[in-house]
Amino acid sequence: MIDQLIFLPISSSVSMVDTKSSSEKGSLLYPYGTHQGDETNPKHYDGTSEEITLSVPFTFYGKTYQTVFVNNNGVISFDEPVKQYTPDPFPLVDGHPFVAPYWADGDNVLGGDIFYCQTTNPVLLEDISQDISHYFPKSPFTTTWALVATWDHVAYCGSTSEKGNTFQAVLTTDSKMFYIIFNY
């Protein structure tokens, strides 16, 4: 079972690795929540964060972006929100780029929270750097910035149970290499 995916978005190839077994760390996810200083998305069906101006530009498939949105439907989009709830085949007809750790018809009004933060916290950045360097040892990497977005126990549309999905996406860079990590 894959607990974490690491993508190399600056090339045409994509790499997946299994990392962070639960026995290695207390959680499969990097720390998150309001107690970590994270922002929280509003409780809106098909909602999104406000536009997030990145403190460090992020390059995704050759294009550099200055802004992202953390969408309640399980995607991080570049430059503008993706509010549609029904996943469509890639690439989208409108051509807007985004990262989809779990694109679904989630509804945080029915349950769950969506958190995000940009960070230069040295302890968190060291954990991220170690995870990437462990699986890509020929590409030395020391991250200097990350955006961590976490969907915590988010309900599905029409849910009548307490079931929810928890997952995380991390955009990170050392200003030369750019990685995206998915944690489930």
Please state the pTM of the whole predicted model. Answer: 0.84
Q: Residue 35: pLDDT above 50? A: yes
Q: Where are the domains of the chain?
A: 4-19+34-183
Give the residue-averaged pLDDT of 102-111.
88
* 3-state class (DSSP) for residue 36: helix
Tell me the pLDDT tens digit for each residue of 133-179: 998 999 889 999 999 999 999 988 887 888 899 999 999 999 999 99
Tell me the pLDDT tens digit for each residue of 67-97: 999 999 999 999 999 877 777 776 677 778 9
Give the pLDDT score at 52. 98
Give the pLDDT score at 84. 73
Q: What percent of the chain clears pLDDT 70, i.e. is strictly above it?
A: 84
Q: Which residue has the tokens 């915590």?
A: 152
Q: How confident is the model at residue 26 (pLDDT cuts 50, 70, 90)?
A: low
Q: In terms of pLDDT, which residue wins out, 9 or 172?
A: 172
Q: In terms of pLDDT, which residue wins out, 27 or 149?
A: 149
What is the rounded CA–CA span in Å between residue 108 and residue 153? 9
Give the pLDDT score at 116. 98
Q: Residue 11: pLDDT above 50? A: no
Are the C-beta atoms of residues 96 and 67 closer than 8 Å to each other?
no
Q: What percent of the chain clears pLDDT 90, i.e. is strictly above it?
A: 60
Element (H, E) at 67: strand 63-71
Distance of CA 136 to the CA centre of its chain: 20
